[in-house]
Structure 1
Amino acid sequence: MSTAFAGVSPIAVHVLGGGVWIGAMVFSVFILHPRAERFFTRASEFEDFIFSVVHGARYKVLAGIAAIVASGVALAVAHRDAAAPWTWLVAAKVVLLLVSLALFLHVTFTLWPRRVFAREDELPAVRRRFWWVGVVMIACNTANMGLGLLARVLRG
């Protein structure tokens, strides 16, 4: 472990990483997109704005997900002697994380290109798809955080 991170608790990285991911998603889906859209008269201007805001973020998000996964693995290894309910909760957390990761990759490599190259008449449908995928990711990540809290309570 690097000396820059010596003494950093895996639980702190895990909880803060998950919280940041949820917070960023909620901000983007429910605040940034709806409010920013009101400032533009043409859909293409709004799309240019949103694209410039998110440009380059995918690798930062993937780095955050990697930190969440690495800290989760460290926590699971530290508590590998746990009872069955805790193990099942961790397994459920892994499934939820994989769903969120798959959705993120779908947004990154399928929906963004579709959105960038969409005609104006196609944008409403693409935006609705973004919104629904974002809501599902928020739900998965929030459920994941809740299961993490429950796992922590069961572990004592």
Structure 2
Amino acid sequence: MTALAAIIHAGLAAAWVGGMAYSLFVVQPKLRRYFGSDEHGREALTMMIAAGNRWKVLGLIAVIAASGLVLLWRTSSPLWIHLVKATLLLGATAIFWYVSWRHWPRRVFATRAELPNYQSRLRTLALVMLGLTGTAFALGVAATHS
């Protein structure tokens, strides 16, 4: 049971961190290069790519959290590591909630003049989320060696 929970927990955490890093450092720059000055085309494709993902990511977060609780109960790693990881996950989840239910709807209806500000803010929020989740992942790896 513990090994299965660890595989699920680490696998989904790696998928989340990897997906965010890939989007930030590969997909988004290529979209900017491909569309060039065609902001409307880039936004349309970005919205199509993002459509419907909020519930998938929330499900992913829920399974990461649930498997983390199983590991908390079943492993002997220090409690502080689990508490810090949980705090980081809550922070990333809060940012994801804000982006999904506040930032993104505003971005969809932004004027051309407002759009660059929303794009920049989303990049900053995504970088912070990546930092939080990446740190939590690193702590999880460290916990296996304690």
Q: Distance in 2 between matches of 1:68 and 1:78?
A: 15
Residue of 29, 52, 58 corresponding to 1:56: 52
1:140 paired to 2:132: yes
Deviations 1:31-84 (A, max 9, x none): 1112112222421221111101111111111111111011101111113xx47x
Q: Distance in 2 between matches of 1:103 and 1:33?
A: 19
Two-structure CA RMSD over aligned residues (Å):
1.7
After TM superposition, what 4+ stretches of structure 1 lie above 2 angstroms from structure 2?
A: 37-42
Consecutive unaligned residues in structure 1, runs of 5 or more: 1-5
Moved more, 112-121 or 35-44: 35-44
* Partner secondary structure for residue 36 of structure 1: helix
1:100 paired to 2:92: yes
Say which one has the larger Rg: 1
Q: Report the equivalent of 1:129.
A: 121
Deviations 1:62-116 (A, max 9, x none): 111111011101111113xx47xx1111110010000000010011011111110
- Residues matched between the structures, number: 145
Q: Report the equivalent of 1:3.
A: none
- Per the TM alignment, residue 12 of structure 1 is displaced from its structure 2 partner at its CA by 0.3
The one-letter code matched in structure 1 to 2:140 is G
1:71 paired to 2:63: no
Residue of 16, 23, 27 corresponding to 2:18: 23
* Partner secondary structure for residue 39 of structure 1: helix
TM-score, normalisation: structure 2 = 0.93
The one-letter code matched in structure 1 to 2:143 is A
TM-score, normalisation: structure 1 = 0.87
Q: Report the equivalent of 2:82.
A: 90
Consecutive unaligned residues in structure 2, runs of 5 or more: none
